[in-house]
Structure formats: structure tokens, C-alpha cells
Structure 1
Amino acid sequence: MYTSSAIENTHLQPLKVGIIGGGVAGSTIALRLGEIGVDVTVLEQGPSLVNGPPFCHLHAGGNLYREISEQQCLTLLQQSIDTLKVYPLSANIRPTVIAVPKHDSGDPLDYLPRLSKLQAFYQQLVKQDPSNQVLGKPSDYYRLFTREEAQTLAKKHTPISINSLDDWLIPVAKHINFEQLKWPIILVQEYGLSAFRLAAIASLSFEKMPHCNIQTHCQVQHVQFQDQQWQVKTNQGHHQFDYLINAAGFQTGEIDDMAALTRERMVEFKAAYVAHWPEAVGHWPEVIFLGQRGTPNGMAQLTPYPGGYFQLHGMTKDITLFEHGLVKNTRHSAQPKLPEHLLNQARHKWHDFEVTQRSKKSISHLAQFLPQFASALPAGKPLYGAQQIPGDDPTLRAANVSFEKHNYVRAEIVKASSALRASDEIVKDLVAKGFVDKQALQLGHLFTHTKAVNNQAVCELAQRLAQERNYPIELALTN
């Protein structure tokens, strides 16, 4: 077993690392580097960590995305397992139900080859290392339910506690419109991921790490490579770094422009909505009704939280997606330019009428499949943000880092579960350049601080962060 002193001794040379952005990528990378003794400074423009685009789902095997490649699905599964091992208290442990509406061109059975390969891959990972069993038993990775089975479950009492996979489907079966769906429906072990609890875990962990310096409310104003170091000017002063990591999220291109570096990328602005449905009882899974993205029949996603609160996605242009919300950069700039009104929304400037209108539309979108959900009410401001997508493929989901000259690195994740893989690639680069001993790779994902945080402390801070960000505290609670 390695001691904490052994971890710190993996750092060989004097090295100052700067990370621009304290989102899930920047925070995870800082935790990984700080643990091996690297001097890290995080420059975060917001008031707290992990305060960027919302995430609520681990996307374990990418089963929400029919359009992505099989290899991306396998990569996402591996990344999701690693993420749960590093941030175990951030998980909302409940499965996801996937249903195909009758108006959709797909067939539920089209999923089976992918699910079988994911299940076999999960089984292989668990066989290699039993600690990888964080998504339940591999034999229970997915389960099909016929219409007849669901109708039988609809007649049962809603259980107080979950004792079988069947129990998860009972509240869904009691409310679902059977005539709107193709059968069977699929239950898969893809869990929820709490942004508020992950933010709390990161914040509490940094308090125990002397090598990590977190500066919030810190706006980067200028970046330049000069005298063999990166010179970074902010509203709080001037910094010099030997190694600079650009983890600025959708503003990554702005930092690239300052550093006189080119990059092809896209940015997409999206939003989810919060609804309160007090009539909801029992333990709900997440429920996904598939659909063609960008059309009126786009995917509908219901993410459950305690107390009858739900987060809603509707992949239509008048709910989650926005007209002109997906933009590319130009040859003149690495930063894609969102229309001014969407940029204002990304900067927390929403009109009340649009919040109400889109929230009601999201409720109606779900109610076509769950009729009684029509009584749900909007419950606060949207969860929103702009998401970067490196390259020119809008279906890309599994991404991590890119490297430039002079020790400049971009952390370009699309999904939260890719943050850990990004930190791995950066450690490999530091080892290859002689900054860090190769023992850092052999140690693997220790993350002793994130795994040691107190559950009560995490819950209390997560609720406080939810309140500070003007969301119901229920979004910070466990199921």
C-alpha cells in the first residue's frame, strides 16, 4: 500500500501547473495532480466549483444516443465506472428505462446487440477487477419488459423500498400510456450523477490538499507564452505557469485565441427544466422516450429527485435545444460565436416568460407518454449551459484532451464521466516529459481525498450550493 508521502514523492521537478476553469474537468484534473504532489492553481471565474453546464445522468453506455458509435459506448461505460469509483457519493443509484414511441422509426430490439456487448464488456471489467462492479451485477445490466409484464406490474402496490428490478418499473407502469409505445421497453443500469454533490466532494477534498490553490471569481484577461513560461493575467493578479491546462468549457476557444492557437470546435447551448409533481410516489427510475433530435418528436427525458421533483429534457428546438444554438468556429477565431441572446442566457440572463413557456412545454412533452404528469408545475429556473464539442462531429460524446506546444493542454470533455480519462492523459504527458515519476501511473486512481469525504458534510454542502444557485435542495439529495 502506498502512503500519502509516497504519493507526493511522485513529483520530480519544480513545476507550476495552471488550470483555467474549475468545472468537472478542471476540478478532477486538479485533484489528480494535487494528489501526486504537483503544485496546482485553479482559476475559476464563477463563485464555486463545478458550476457549469448541468449534468444529471452518468450515460454509462451511452444508451440515450442511438447515433453514436459502438466504440464510444464502450468508452463511456469504462469512464462511467471509473467516475463512480472516484466520486461514489455523487451517484444517484437508480436505473434508466428506455422506451421507443410508436411515432419513432426505431425498434426496441435494435438495442439488443449493443446492450449485449456492453453487458459482456462490463462482465469482463468486473472479472479483471471486482471493484469495477459499481453498476450492479453484470447479469442485471439490462432487462426487457413486455407489455404484458408491465401491465401486471401496474396492478401491484408501489413498494416502499426496492427489492428487485421489477420494483423500479411499478410506478412507471402505473402512469405510462401503453398505447403510445412499442414493446418491449428496456431497463438498463445507467445511474444518475449529481452535479451539486460532485461539486461538494471536490470543494471538501481541496480543503485537505496543500498543493491545490483555488481562486474563484477569477477572470482570465490575457494569456501569453513568454520567457519559457505561460504568463496569465487575471482580475486578481498575474501568474506564471510551466504547464497550462485550458479547461474553460464553452469558452475554451477564447483562451485559445489569447494564446494564439487554432482549433476546430463547436459549441451548443442547451437547457433542462425543473418540475414539481407531488402526486409522484415510490422510487422512480429515470425514463427516456426516444425520438429524432431537433424535431417536435425529439427525445423526452424524465430525471427523478426526492419529493416529487424532476429534471426534464425535450430534444426539440422549443424545449432543450435552441434555434441557432449549435455553432462552429471560424478560421478567424477558435471560439464559436453564439447569438447574443443565447450568450446572455449562458451568462444567467433569462426572461421569465421564456422560462415559464419552455418549462410548460417540457411538461407537456412528457405528458404525452405519462398523462398524469400534465399536472406537474414549473419549479424554478432552468439548468442550462453551453457545451463544447471538439472537431466537427456533433454526435461526439467520448472526448478528453488535446496537446499543443509549450506545455499547453486543452481538456475538452463533452460528458462529465470523461473528466477522469482527461486527467489520466495529462499525467501520462507529465511523466513522458520528466515532470512526474512514472510511479504516478502505477498508483492509478487513488483519489484518497474524494473517497474519504464525509457523507453528511457532502450532503450539507451540496444543499447549500443548490440554494446559492437558486435550485430546490431536493436536486442535491440522494434518491
Structure 2
Amino acid sequence: MKENKTNIAIVGGGIAGSTAALFLANAGLSVTLFEKAPSLVSGPPFCHLHAGGNLYPEISDEQCLTLLKQSIDFARLYPHGVDHRPTVIALPTYCSRSTEHLLPRLQKLQAYYEALIKEDAENRVLNDPSVYFKLYEKSEIEALREKKSLRHPETLDEWMIPFAKETDLEKIQFPVILVQEYGLNLFRIGARLLLSLEADTHVDLRLSTSVTKIEKENGLWRIHSIDQKGKKEERFDYLINAAGYQTGKIDDMIGVPCERMVEFKAAYVSQWECEEDHLWPEIIFQGERGTPRGMGQFTPYPQGYFQLHGMTKDITLYEGGLVASTPLSCQPQLPQKFIEKIEYAWKEEETIERTRKAIRHLSQFIPSFASAKVGSKPLFGAQQIPGNDPTLRVAEVAFPAPHYARCEIVKVSSTIDMSYAILDDLVKSGLLEPSSCKPVVPEKMKQIKEDAVSKQAEILCEMREYPTALAHLCVPKC
């Protein structure tokens, strides 16, 4: 690889900053990654490959098509982190929409997926396009109730058996949709990135390091940081702001304008001893966000663990948890109670209360799930949303000043388009040769082995006080 003397500083080692570091180092650039936490990808939780955006009926078809393409690219980059189980989408009887409203979009997505495979056969990561989705009428679901659950389901019908057996069919509309949107495992993706970046000689990985001040001096960025060894000042040619929900703090430091929101969210971990040994698909019960009938999301992990979302203000969403920037500061000010959760710890009574509410929210559709217990502390964090539209789901990066990139991802699958856009800006700035900017999977990622990812993912779970079962896939990678 041709060496490049350009020095890049990345502030923030979440999924955005870590992925950018991976691609820039692969282009021969010298990258210093500053992360205040002791490990990578410790920001807001993600659990779902939004391969079409079918969880968001309110967003545009254009955003959904973009999410599909980005999700395919993401699955190709992070195969160790993809759980190959499909997703069931059910509309409760109280929904004003019907499944028929979703069909035109699903058909567009199916056609687009087929076209992407024709462009590049390696894009076939969501099973065959002919089974990208399937509709199930009530009579078909009732017939599947009589079937035996399988530990290794292969067909779409076999995946639907647990749903058929355990769901209260009087509470949902028909047809029900099964779609090839898979799970994502944040611990495994974080582990793979950590192993890759630690092994890359182009990357100086600074964990447990805080950036305290940034100044522009003679065309260079002067960055002040502090770690356990003390304070340091360094100069860099290019700055990438990947500070997640604290992105506005970096903008304030260097004096660039912005408009953004920040939203605090949490997902809850439960453990359930189901009478039958099911291997579950993910299940989405759609609903109206922010109301008591908000969406319910049921995400399986091994050993009977389930991650739960309830898009109500008593469960995943919080009163006062969505805040916006002001003319005085780019950094939206979350109430202190949310900062304390992010920076310190949850109170046990709140963990128990909200997890039980999440269990009740899902058990209205899956009655036997009412016996589930609290599995661990929640998965939580604050998500940035650029602009002023809280329904935005596709965003990548902005370049509000010379030699400065502000990462603005909302969904993790946008990180690859984000990284390529930064590489393009480096070329335009004269800091990178065009020949170095090629859309390839970095070699360091290809070299990481499955057992190393699993071991490191377990270490991350233990560091963050989560069950090590969350480090593994329901459907092991072949």
C-alpha cells in the first residue's frame, strides 16, 4: 500500500468514527482515533439491519431504497455481526393502516434488490430476491400452529412457526409479512472493529482519551487531549467529528453552525423460558410512535434473551428525551437525568420498572411472554438527528468547513456511504490521490476470524455488564 503523509484526526470511536478509521487507513492515510470510552462502539444500541426500512411506514420510499442499498453494503462489510433470521411485521387490529398499504413499497424493494444482485452477485446477502418477503393469511398461520418448531429453520414457513404458536391472532391484522431484514449484533461488530484497528499500522487507537480543545492554526487542526498519562497537543491535516450525540460540542469548539436534535432512547433486556424450544424470528408490532400503542419490537438472542423496544414514553422513549440545538449552541442539552444514565449508571428500580413495562407491552400480542424476567440493565444511548425532522432515517456526513467532516448518521448502515464521501472530500482537498479511493472491503476486516470475534465480543459484554449470550448469534455464521 502506498504511504500517505496526511494525518487524520477522528474524534469519537462509535460505529461512525471506527468505520471511517477503517476505510481511511485502508487508503494509506495516517489515522488517530480518539475515544473517551475504554472500548469502541459503545454508543446508542442497534439490533436490526434495516434492509428496506420496513419498520418505518412514515418515511419516504426513497429513504427505504437507500436503506436497502446501505444495508447490503453493511452486511458485506460486517458478516460476523449479521444474524440471519428474518423479521415478522404485524399490524395490530387497532392500527388505522393495513398491510396492503405496505405492499407497493415491498414490491419496489424486491425489484431493487434483484437489480442490485444483477449489478453485483455479491449483493445477494438477503437470501434469494424471490423470497425477500412473503405474506401470510390467517388460515396459513393457523395451519403452521400444528407444526413442530425446528432448531434450524430453513424455509420461511419454518421461521413462522413460533410466531404462529405463540401470538394472539385476534389482536393482529392479516396478512402478516415475513421480510428478509436481519439482526445486527453490536458487540460482535464492535469486537471486529477493535481487532481490525488494533492490527492496522496506519491507525493510532487512543481509547480512554478525551479531546478537551480544538483550534485551527496555519491551516492545521491543533487538538488538545488527555488520557491516563497526561495532556497532549498534536496537529492534524483533517478533522472528522464522529462524536455521536456530542457532535455539537466539537462544532462549538471550532465555531461552525449547525442544526440538530438529540434523542435519548433505551432498549430492555429480558430472559424468557418458553415452554417450547423455539428459534424465533424478530417480530415487529407496528404502532403510533409516542402513544401507548407505540411499536413493539421483539429481538431474539441466544439462551432465551430478548431485546425489547416499546415506542412509548413509558418504555423506549422518554418525556423530555428529544432536544434540539439553539442559536447559542450546536449541542442540544439533554436533561441531567439522561446524562447521568449515559455517563454513570441506571437505578435498579427504573431498570426493573421499565423492563416489566416492555414485557407487558409485548405480551399483549404474545401472551406467554408475560412470564419473562428482567435479563440485565438496559441497552441505551442518545442518538443525533441532523436538521429538525425527527423521522429522518437516512443521513451520512456534512462538510461545513475546509478539511472538516461532521458525521451525521442516524442508522448504522449509513457509515459506508459516509466513509466514501469523506474519502471523496479528501481527494477534492488535495490530501489523497484518487487512485487510493477505491470501494473495497478493507483487507484487515477480511483477516479477522470467527472465534476471535466471539471471544472479543464476550469481553465487551463483560466490560459493560451484559450477559455474554448477547455476544453470539441466534443463527451461527457458517
Pick the TM interval, shorter chain: over 0.9
Partner of 2:199: 208
User: In structure 1, the residue corresponding to 2:269 is in which secondary structure?
Assistant: strand
1:168 is matched by which residue type in structure 2?
Answer: W
Aligned residue number for residue 228 of structure 1: 219
Q: Report the secondary structure of 1:398's partner residue.
A: coil
1:312 aligns with 2:308: yes
1:358 aligns to 2:354 (yes or no):
yes
TM-score by length of 2: 0.97
Find 1:463's aligned residue among 458, 462, 467.
458
Indicate if the aligned counterparts of 1:87 and 1:451 stay in contact, CA closer than 8 A: no
Query: Out of 406, 410, 417, which is 2:413 matched to?
Result: 417
- CA deviations on 1:415-456 (whole Å, 9 max, x unpaired) are 111111100100111112222121233x31231111221000
Partner of 2:108: 117
> What's the counterpart of residue 437 of structure 1?
433
**What's the counterpart of residue 241 of structure 1?**
236
Identity %: 49
Aligned to 1:476: 471
Q: Quote the Cα distance in structure 2 between the aligned partners of 1:470 and 1:249.
A: 22
1:86–1:445: 8 Å Cα contact kept in structure 2? no
The separation in 1 between residues aligned to 2:346 and 2:464, in whole angstroms, is 14
Q: Which residue in the other structure is 1:181 paired with? A: 172
Structure 1 ranges of 4+ moved more than 2 A:
none
TM-score of the pair, normalised by structure 1: 0.97
Q: Does structure 1 residue 341 correspond to structure 2 residue 332?
A: no
- 8 Å CA contact 2:151–2:277 kept in 1: the answer is no
Report if the CA contact (8 A) 2:269-2:377 is conserved: yes
Q: What is the distance in 1 between the residues matched to 2:101 and 2:402?
A: 47
Partner residue of 1:44 out of 35, 38, 49: 35
**Contact 2:7–2:237 under 8 Å retained in 1:** yes
Q: Which one of 266, 283, 289 corresponds to residue 285 of structure 2?
A: 289
Structure 2 partner of 1:17: 8
Match of 2:138 in 1: 147
Give the superposed CA RMSD.
Answer: 1.0
**1:382 is aligned to 2:383:** no
Verify: 1:80 aligned to 2:90, yes or no.
no
* 3-state DSSP of counterpart to 2:199: coil
Mapping of residues 123-142 of structure 1, within 5 Å: 123-142=114-133
Distance 2:333 2:13 in 1: 22
Give the 3-state SS of the residue equivalent to 2:391 in structure 1.
coil
SS at match of 2:399: strand
Match of 1:260?
255
How far does residue 109 in structure 1 lie from its aligned partner after superposition?
A: 1.1
Report the CA distance between 1:282 and its aligned residue.
Answer: 2.1
What is the distance in 2 between the residues matched to 1:475 and 1:198? 12
The 8 Å contact of residues 53 and 386 in structure 1, kept in 2 or not, is answered as: yes
Contact kept, 8 Å, 1:58 with 1:80, in 2: the verdict is: yes
Post-superposition offset of 1:340:
1.1
Deviation digits for residues 296-325 of structure 1, max 9, x if unmatched? 000000000111100000000000000011
The aligned counterpart of 1:5 is: none
Q: CA-to-partner distance for each residue in 1:198-249, whole Å, 9 max, x for gaps?
A: 0111011113210001101111111111121111111131121110000000
**Aligned-partner Cα distance in 2 for 1:147–1:346:** 43
Check the 8 A contact 1:274/1:380 in 2, yes or no.
yes
Q: Which residue of structure 1 lines up, in the alignment, with residue 296 of structure 2?
A: 300
Paired amino acid for 1:423: S
Across the two proteins, how many residue pairs are aligned to each other? 469
CA distance in 2, matches of 1:459, 1:296: 38
Alignment-derived partner of residue 4 in structure 1: none
Deviations 1:342-377 (A, max 9, x none): 121122332111111000000000000000000000
Does the Cα contact within 8 Å between 2:427 and 2:434 map onto a contact in 1? yes
CA distance in structure 1 between the aligned counterparts of 2:455 and 2:408, rounded to whole angstroms: 30
The separation in 2 between residues aligned to 1:447 and 1:148, in whole angstroms, is: 48
3-state secondary structure, aligned to 1:430: helix
Matches within 5 A, 1:21-32: 21-32=12-23
Which position in structure 1 is the counterpart of 2:324?
A: 328
Q: Which amino acid aligns with 1:447?
A: P
8 Å CA contact retained: 2:262, 2:385: yes
Q: Secondary structure at the match of 2:333?
A: coil
Structure 2 CA distance for aligned equivalents of residues 256 and 349 of structure 1: 27
Q: Which amino acid aligns with 1:470?
A: E
- Which whole-Å CA distance do the structure 2 matches of 1:182 and 1:404 have between them? 47
> In the TM superposition, what whole-angstrom CA distance separates every residue of 1:78-118 from its partner, at most 9, and x where no partner exists?
11000111111110110000000011111011110000000
Report the Cα distance in structure 1 between the residues aligned to 2:47 and 2:161, rounded to whole angstroms: 22
Aligned residue type for 1:436: L
Q: For 1:235, what is the secondary structure of its paired residue? A: strand
Q: Using the alignment, how far apart are the partners of 2:142 and 2:447 within structure 1?
A: 44
For the residues of structure 1 that align with 2:12 and 2:234, how far apart are their CA atoms? 15
Q: Distance in 1 between matches of 2:397 and 2:379?
A: 26
Contact persistence 2:256–2:401 (CA under 8 A): no
The answer on whether the counterparts of 2:147 and 2:161 sit within 8 Å (CA) in structure 1 is yes
Q: Supply the AA of the counterpart residue of 2:453.
A: V
Does the 8 Å CA contact 1:33/1:40 hold for their aligned counterparts?
yes
Unpaired segments ≥5 residues, structure 2: none
Secondary structure in 2 matching 1:409 = strand
- Aligned-partner Cα distance in 2 for 1:283–1:140: 20
- How far has the Cα of 1:163 moved from its partner? 2.4
CA distance in 1, matches of 2:180, 2:467: 26
Q: Is the 8 A contact 2:198 2:205 kept in 1?
A: no
1:228-282 deviations in whole A, cap 9, x for unaligned? 1111111131121110000000000011111111100000000000000021622
